[in-house]
Chain A
Amino acid sequence: MLLARVADRLYWAARYLERAEDTARLVRAHGELMADLPPRLDTRWEPLLAVVGSGVRVLDANGDGSGVQTQTRSALDVEMAVVRFLATDRANPSSVVSSVIAARENLRTTRDTVPREGWHVVNDLYLYVTTEADRGADRRVRDRYLGRVIADGRRIDGILATAMTHDEAYVMWRLGRAIERADMTTRVLGVRAAAVLSLPEHLTPGVEDHDEVQWMGVLRSVWGLQMYQRAVRGPIEGSSVVRFLLEHDRFPRAVRALLREIRLALSELPEPGGPLDAVADVEAVVRDASAASTDGHALDAAMDQVQLAIARLDQRIHERYLRIGA
């Protein structure tokens, strides 16, 4: 027996925690990538903003409209502005810190369904990311800050997997995790598309921007480099990475494998017909998307299509399970 309201909060707690963890991993992997690239481009950090959606820009002090403000456009300034926005800015509802706060708030109201130890981890993480938020973006603290979010994200999943009864409440958690994870994988690919698009005209895509290193960065952002190499046994090359992250059916952050997990989770819930149809729709969109070229515009548009299909699935789950009689 699971209250619809509790199901809703568990689902969202899982989504927010996954978003925090994946954003942290992306920012961290991007930092490592940047350290390996020559300092030729001053817009190297800006493409990262595509993770929260297209159209978010770094603006200098004179900029108008919505965007991430910075005093000048020095490379360090832009880097700090982007990292702050994605990691420690409470005004950005998708930042790491905002996501952890939202996850904790959702879990706080469902404490009776989640093992205590799991709640303690989330509460502890909340205390850490909020008290350290002022320093979290600094280069020297950043790695520890983001690393803690990633490690605690893994810890809570481990605790729930091994200490929580695998009932409907746990299924809602799995569902939230898997849907957000699938969405975030497409967003990581979206960041790569944005990076290609931001390349100055005098540089040739795929040659002078160290294409292979960049795609390694994409794989690192989803902890996928090693598994990619095992699966592909060939050079790291864009279209192959896109196919791996969309179509692999066993790598746990590949979209197809996640859709499989979503199907399994849904099959444990009462009458999942509507949501299952929506999963089939996402699968169809993914098939088309993986055929798209790694040309910036095509990849960007394809990922938008997958994200929209996932949003429709989310909508069906809400209608079927989370809004009973409301």
Chain B
Amino acid sequence: MTETAAATTPWDELLDSEGRPRPAAAELIALIERLGPEELQARQAAAAADILTMGITFTVYSEGSNIDRAWPFDVIPRIIEAREWAAIERGLVQRLRALNMFIDDVYNERRCVADGVLPAELLVDSVNYRPQCEGVHPKFGVWAHISGSDLVRDADGTMYVLEDNLRVPSGVSYVIENRALAKKAFPELFGYLGIAPVDAYTDELNKLLASLAPDTVTEPSIVVLTPGIFNSAYFEHSFLAQRMGATLVEGGDLVVSDDDRVYMRTIGGLEPVDVIYRRIDDLFLDPAVFRPDSLLGVPGLMRAWRAGNVALANAPGSGVADDKVVYAWVPDLIRYYLGEEPLLPNVPTYRCLDPAERRFVLDNLRELVLKPANESGGYGILIGSRASDAQLQAQAEAIERDPRNWIAQPIIQLSTTPTLCPDGIEPRHVDLRPFVLTGETSYVTAGGLTRVALTKGSLVVNSSQGGGSKDTWIVDLGSGWGSY
């Protein structure tokens, strides 16, 4: 644990500071003790075998032809008590409502700038701002229909929002698959403990997507647009299409005709498309408007969207609110648009754009985590306490060169959860990615994807960088599901 040797002991999700099970985890811990290490390892092995058979995979970039990897799953779940979860859920719904009002405002009136809530230059410089989206009014004023905010818990037990993933967040299929695996691994507990089911997500997503169709359409034709088999989340694209009964399409399957409508190529000819759940980044969506070299997209798609003939979820340009610098303003935006106090806190964030805060960051690099504004997947992040002098020097220069591109946060001592490791059960750091659906109404997954850093002491939970996952149980100790 040398690398994370911090002053404080991390919060453990299942055990209190005395090492006793937290109330919602008591049954699970008792069962694990009854089973003993060999039986637990056997159940882990059975889950691993199921993952292979069921073909639950994720894809890793640049591995030549061996692109399909088995999904790493730890059999011991992460547990959150239902009352705490209900509060988190309210906070997420509030946050996404405000973020959507912000995006709609940015591409239309820009009241937030006029009223001095947000500096104008922040928008102009955002690499995720899309001038092509100005003046568009998507249904319900909602742009980011599907989001996957990352939550982390600090040593004192506070749950923070670490980032909002508003572009093409992935992982929700694993929430559902992990549950299927956990049910097999712990049949003793399901049906006896009040564990909230997670299966409803795809149905809710389907309803949301259908609600986005142009008003003239009665039976909307919904498609999931994937970049294809080589994308890291292809498994999920296929999974979601399958669960929703939607058609999984690639760019080449779609065509925008002279009537500004989108069609798909079928064996019987061209068939209209009303709603596209797109899992392709903005810049690849439409080579006629964005990157002309994109082979993944559909020429004319933006034209059809702007004409209101097709719905895109998420709407292009949603990423403007996903900027790690805009993040620092989210609490202000919640107060501004909703007139409410944020229910879920941001991680304290220093904005290098501000001269005084920049000075502080440069003076305290070693105690901070530095994040570039527009990277995802954990790339480009520098953890000050683990960096060499040369790296810190380079970081300082990068900040001076482009202060707008950097924010800094104190190092959060990510909470841990007991995890089955080769030598037995050991604590490993976790985060949580719940998925939030926003349309006319809102929906939050019961729990979400718990990602775990499988390497001892590591804080990196990304599956592309050695992370694994766990099932997440929302356990109701009280009066059953009616209470919330």
Contact = CB atoms under 8 A, between A and B. Distances in A.
A and B found bound together? yes
Interface residues of A, number: 27
B267 A109 contact: no
Interface stretch (B116-124, B245-253, B313-321, B452-460): B245-253
B54 interface: yes
Nearest to B55: A123
Which of B53, B229, B248, B267 has the largest count of A CB atoms less than 10 A from its CB? B267
Given A112-B248, A325-B265, A120 B55 contact: yes
A119 to B, nearest CB: 6
Given A1-B271, A4-B267, A168-B267, A111 B229 contact: no
Contact of B253 (A5, A108, A110, A123): A5
B249 A3 contact: yes
A170 to B, nearest CB: 13
Nearest to A171: B267
Given A1-B247, A2-B266, A112 B52 contact: no
Task: Name the prevailing secondary structure of the B interface residues.
Answer: mixed
A132 B54 CA distance: 19
Interface string A290-326: 0000000000000000000000000000000110111
Nearest to A2: B267
A183 B55 CA distance: 31
A114 to B, nearest CB: 9
Nearest to B224: A112
B265 A112 contact: no
Interface in B345-375: none
B264 A3 contact: yes
B266 A324 contact: yes
Nearest to B246: A112
Nearest to B68: A108
A112 B264 contact: no
B255 interface: yes
A166 B103 CA distance: 45
A322 B242 CA distance: 22
Nearest to A269: B267
B238 A5 contact: no
B131 interface: no
B228 to A, nearest CB: 8
Interface string B253-284: 10100000000111111110000000000000
B182 interface: no
A111 B266 contact: no
A111 to B, nearest CB: 5
A120 B55 CA distance: 7
B247 to A, nearest CB: 6
A127 interface: yes
Interface string B291-330: 0000000000000000000000000000000000000000
Interface in A1-40: 1-7
A2 B271 CA distance: 10
A235 interface: no
Interface string A102-117: 0000001111100010
B25 interface: no
Given A3-B247, A120-B53, A324 B265 contact: yes
A3 B249 CA distance: 8
A173 to B, nearest CB: 13
Contacts of A324: 265-267, 269
Contact of B265 (A4, A109, A120, A172): A4
Contacts of B264: 1, 3
Nearest to B250: A5
B241 interface: yes
B268 A1 contact: yes
Which of A1, A4, A112, A127 has the largest count of B CB atoms less than 10 A from its CB? A112
Nearest to A320: B267
Interface string A163-192: 000001000100000000000000000000
Given A1-B247, A127-B52, A112 B241 contact: yes
A5 B268 contact: no
A270 interface: yes
B177 to A, nearest CB: 11
Contact of A3 (B52, B53, B228, B253): B253
Contacts of B242: 111-112, 116
A288 interface: no
Contacts of A110: 248
Contacts of A172: 267
A109 B246 CA distance: 14
26 contacts: A1-B221, A1-B271, A2-B267, A2-B268, A3-B247, A3-B249, A3-B253, A3-B264, A3-B267, A108-B55, A111-B55, A111-B242, A112-B246, A112-B247, A112-B248, A116-B54, A120-B54, A120-B55, A123-B55, A270-B267, A270-B268, A270-B269, A321-B267, A324-B265, A325-B255, A326-B252
Interface of B: 52-55, 221, 228-229, 238-239, 241-242, 246-250, 252-253, 255, 264-271
Interface of A: 1-7, 108-112, 116, 119-120, 123-124, 127, 168, 172, 269-270, 321-322, 324-326
